[in-house]
Structure 1
Amino acid sequence: MVRVKICGLTTLNDAEISVKYGADALGFVFAESKRQMKPKQVWNIIRNLPIFTVKVGVFVNEDPDRILDIASYCNLDAVQLHGEEPVNHCKKIAAHFKVIKAVKVKKRPVYSDFEPYSEYQILLESACESGGSGLTWDWDKLPKKMRNGSVIVSGGLNVQNVQKAISSVNPIAVDVASGVEIKPGIKDHKLIKQFISRVKGIKL
C-alpha cells in the first residue's frame, strides 16, 4: 500500500489529526518558508506523538552538523534534504538518520538526474524554488527505471489528482503539503481525511 506523508505541519492538533486518519509520516520544515518551525516547537509536537509515526525534518542547504544537532534534539526519524546538497553531505547525515533527497524533475527528465542519489530515498518535486508550492510536474515523463515502487511523489498533489500520480509513477509514498491546507501551515482536517482515504482506498 502506498504510504502518506503530511508535510509542513505547524501544530500538534494537525499532527494528531494526520495520525488519526492514517498518515505514515509527518514533515516539519526547518528551512526558511511560510511553514518554518523552530526546533523547540517541533520537539514539543513530536514528544506527544505515537512512536510508530515517522517524523521527518525538512532542510534546505543547511550545514550537516546543524542538521544532525536538530534531528537529534527533536528525535527525528528521517532528514529530508530539499536543496542542492552534495552527495557527501547526504552520506554524512545518512550515518545517523535515514535520508530523503528531494530531486527537482526537469521538463525532460533522464535517469542520470537521479542516479547520484540512488542509495537514498528519492523524493520527486516540481522544478520550482522550494517545496509546498502547489505546482505539479509531468508524471508520465518520468523514466520507466524510476517507476519501480521506490520513489516518493511530491508537488501539487491533492484529492483530485493523487490517484493519477500513483497510477503514473507507482511510488512507495506520496507527500502533500499545500493540497491539504487552509493556508500555509494550517491544515484542513477534512482534506487530510479525504486525501488519505483516496490514497489508501479505504473509507475513513
Structure 2
Amino acid sequence: MWVKICGNTRLEDCQRAIDLGVDALGFIFAHGKRLVTAEHVRTITSLLPAHVPTFGVFTQRDPEFILHTAEVAGISGIQMHGVFDPSLASALRVRFPKGDSPRLIQVVHWDVDEALELQQARLRGELNALADSGLVDAALMDSRTKQDSGGTGVTFDWIAAAEVVRESRLPVIAAGGLRPENVAEAVRILKPWGVDVSSGVEASPGVKDAERMEQFIQAARTGSLER
C-alpha cells in the first residue's frame, strides 16, 4: 500500500515520516494554510534521501510556472488539480517522464453533494479519459463539497466509489477525510492503489503529529492485507 503524506511544511515532519516508512511526501504550492514557497521546500528536499518521491500540489495552469517551481523546490513529481488539461500534462511530461513510481498525478473529485449515479458515471468518464491520454501515471480521488474543491477533510461514499475504482485502468490513490481511525476501513472497501493524507495526521495546519503519522501508515497497510 503506497502512502503519501501531504501538506508538509517542516523538515522534522518529513524526516519522521520517512523513518516511519512513508512512500511519498507532498508540498502545497496552490493555496491555503499549508502553502509553502519553492525556496522553503528546497531547504527541506535538499536534506531528504533522494529515493523518496516528493510531489508539488498545483492548481495553477501555467506549465512554465509549475516547472520553474518544481526545479527550484527540488521535487520529483506533480499533482495537478482542476479539470484535466492534456496540453498542460504534455508539457509537464517532458520534464517528468514515466518511471518506476508515479511522476504525474491528476486529481479527480467525488462531489459529496451530487447523486451517486451521476458521480459514478462522471468519474468513470474522467478516469477513462485519463487512461486513454497516456499522460498521467495515477489518479487521486478526493472529496469535494459546494464550499471546497479539495483538502476538505470530508470522506465520501467508499462503497459507491469502490465500483469505479475497481474498473479504473489507472492506479487510484484515495484521499479525503482519511485519518488513522478510518483508513483501514477505507482501504478494505475501496481497494485503492494508494492513500493520501494531510489534515488527518496533524497537530495543527502544516504541523504533523508523529504518533498519528505512525498510526495512519500502520493502519493503511493493515487494511491492505485484510482486503
TM-score, normalisation: structure 2:
0.83
Q: Which residue of structure 1 aligns with residue 109 of structure 2?
A: 104
Distance verdict in 2 for CA 1:179–1:143, change over 3 Å: closer
Q: How many percent of aligned residue pairs carry the same amino acid?
A: 34
Q: Which residue of structure 2 aligns with residue 126 of structure 1?
A: 143
Identify which of 166, 175, 179 aligns with 2:196: 175
**Paired letter, 1:167:** R
Alignment of 1:162 with 2:208, yes or no, is: no
**Paired letter, 1:89:** L
After TM superposition, the runs of 4+ consecutive aligned structure 1 residues lying more than 4 A away are: none
Aligned residue-pair number: 201
Alignment of 1:153 with 2:174, yes or no, is: yes
Alignment of 1:113 with 2:126, yes or no, is: yes
Residue 116 of structure 1: how far off its partner (Å):
2.2
Alignment of 1:137 with 2:150, yes or no, is: no
Secondary structure at the residue paired with 1:103?
Answer: strand
TM-score, normalisation: structure 1:
0.92
Q: Which residue of structure 2 aligns with residue 29 of structure 1?
A: 28
CA contact (8 A) 2:60 2:66 kept: no
Q: Deviations over 1:136-191 (max 9, x none)?
A: 11111126352268200000000111011111211111000010011111111110
Measure the CA separation in 2 of the matches of 1:59 and 1:134.
18
Measure the CA separation in 1 of the matches of 2:221 and 2:21.
9
**Paired letter, 2:201:** V
Q: Where do 5+ consecutive residues of structure 1 fail to align? A: none
Q: Which residue of structure 2 aligns with residue 90 of structure 1?
A: 89
Q: Where do 5+ consecutive residues of structure 2 fail to align? A: 97-102
Q: Which residue of structure 2 aligns with residue 195 of structure 1?
A: 216
| Larger deviation, residues 36-45 vs 192-201 | 192-201
RMSD value, Cα = 1.7
| Larger deviation, residues 15-24 vs 76-85 | 76-85
Q: Deviations over 1:49-96 (max 9, x none)?
A: 011111000001331111011112222111001223422212221221
